[in-house]
Chains A and B, each alone.
Chain A
């Protein structure tokens, strides 16, 4: 845990819009995010909360009609928003790796997986052809693909989802990036494979000393591997903090509600369902005054409609966007609440 590390990726006041200039649909509002050197950061939220857009923005990979209209993004002190196309390409090629959600379509179906990996090595790690081939086979082995010599010659459709995601990871780390952005890398995989992929990410992060930004909608996934966490909802970051802090003392009602909705082993077979959050996340077309979560919040008060969504520090390395802090008294009483921390047997 290198919590004291210098910031590697810093996003401030990010705003991503769709739609027309006059009537923009704001998908990401004023989001801030920091990933320090060697740190494993989780970005968690429901579908449509803007987490994928936020992490794609870090590489300016937002595709039209989406656009970044405001915000500062700096990578290792350099201003990403001000980078030329050439600098941006170099950043994407050598310093930041990215893994996408769907391993079934993120590999080119008409090329052998080994060739795709070797291509990245040749271009981004600048290797001669022959060496790239040797290196590619080693990398395949490194990410846990059995029989890498033969798998080098496989086409994507001949591999399972987990294998393809391993190949994607190998491609993403081929140029030894300092930051790996993993956009829901395990969502399309079954639970067993999911655990293996997470283990792989954790191992690679140790071995290569790279920072990882893991996007997920699954608290269990985050809990297994991350150091720090940012919770997103409706295009805002609602709370950030160390994983342990957020699990034991969530300040934002949304974080707490999310934790309480995670099923645990004990609840298996029980007729009682886990507490679900009532209502639906806001649509892009809705603009809510004050807190975006207020309409679904069990602790909402009238003043929630006027508060700003700015993050306020509430503890060491812990910030929340809820100024009401309905649980503060509870935590002050010394009695820690007990939302089940989903620990998976590994």
Chain B
């Protein structure tokens, strides 16, 4: 891998050791980053941007179509859909970040341990992960919510419990290849401890795949969260959450289309943005930046 990389690298990069030529990210990555960046910024600044309190009901202005005073209209209780969407996005993104990036390091760590040790340790850990993966993800999360009761607590516990297994599998399979590399043998030959060999020398070589996969996972998790909200198992009313906003707007799809559609478009934009970033990362055009 490194030889082909060296071969495709422009000569100028070799001539300037230590200061690697910065490979410019592909256009899709930039577009994706801009979309996700704007959404994240909007979510972060929701209290400043949102023109209304997301839970403020106004029965004089129910189901109003989008206008300058209500950018995305109002819902059946007269609440400002734009403000609710911003707060919903804020809640969703925070939860998605948590449920994606908590299981990631756990899975990568366990996976690299399993891959490095092999044999018994590996068999036990891999079977546990297989059991997790054999369950339909969604059903498993709902089962955990059944225990904890509806609400975000169930999501925060359930998704990481089910989510680490995929990162485990990714890291484990990379580790199986990596441990045969001479530089990993060299860590043994140099008398480095196993902990050091895994954490310091192997993990930096295999976290990139997990990171790329996590972009996909972030979309899946947001959709999961919205679905749970839609089913009434996620965020509880009156908390604004994209899924529950969409669910709440669905009965009025024909009379007040904006209540469900506009927050839905935010979800779509988020999915597309994250997907573009993931695509760009896996392209290898950012290899030197991430490797």
Co-assembled chains A and B: yes
Interface of A toward B, CB cutoff 8 Å: 59, 61, 63-64, 88-94, 98, 100-102, 104-112, 119-120, 123-124, 150-159, 168, 171
> Which residues of chain A are within 8 angstroms of B291 by Cβ–Cβ distance?
109-110
Question: Does chain A have a CB within 8 A of B41?
Answer: no
Extra inter-chain contacts (16) besides given A101-B182, A154-B17, CB under 8 Å: A63-B185, A64-B118, A89-B193, A91-B191, A94-B191, A100-B182, A100-B185, A100-B189, A104-B2, A105-B183, A150-B18, A157-B2, A157-B6, A158-B18, A158-B20, A159-B17
Contact A151 B5 (CB under 8 A): no
Contact B182 A106 (CB under 8 A): yes
Which B84-136 residues sit within 8 Å CB-CB of chain A?
A: 118
Query: Which residue in B18, B183, B193 is a CB contact (below 8 Å) of A106?
Result: B183
Query: Which residue in B17, B118, B188, B204 is a CB contact (below 8 Å) of A158?
Result: B17
Contact B189 A112 (CB under 8 A): no
Give the number of residues in B that approach A within 8 Å (Cβ atoms): 30
Shortest Cβ gap from B34 to chain A (Å): 28
Shortest Cβ gap from A159 to chain B (Å): 8
Query: Which residue in B183, B200, B204 is a CB contact (below 8 Å) of A107?
Result: B183
> Which residues of chain A are within 8 angstroms of B153 by Cβ–Cβ distance?
none
Residue on B with the closest CB to A171? B190
Contact B191 A89 (CB under 8 A): yes
Contact B17 A98 (CB under 8 A): no
> Which residues of chain B are within 8 angstroms of A91 by Cβ–Cβ distance?
191
Question: Does chain A have a CB within 8 A of B143?
Answer: no
Q: A89-B191, A153-B18 are in contact. Are A106 and B2 (CB under 8 A)?
A: no
A25 and B6 CA atoms in complex are apart in Å by: 39
Which B234-253 residues sit within 8 Å CB-CB of chain A?
A: none
Shortest Cβ gap from B91 to chain A (Å): 36
Query: Which residue in B1, B14, B19, B188 is a CB contact (below 8 Å) of A92?
Result: B188
> Which residues of chain B are within 8 angstroms of A111 by Cβ–Cβ distance?
204
> Which residues of chain B are within 8 angstroms of A154 by Cβ–Cβ distance?
17-18
> Which residues of chain B are within 8 angstroms of A153 by Cβ–Cβ distance?
17-19
> Which residues of chain A are within 8 angstroms of B182 by Cβ–Cβ distance?
100-102, 105-106
Residue on A with the closest CB to B206? A110
A298 and B182 CA atoms in complex are apart in Å by: 39
Residue among B14, B186, B200, B201 facing the most chain A CB atoms (10 A cut-off): B186
Contact A98 B13 (CB under 8 A): no
Question: Does chain A have a CB within 8 A of B67?
Answer: no
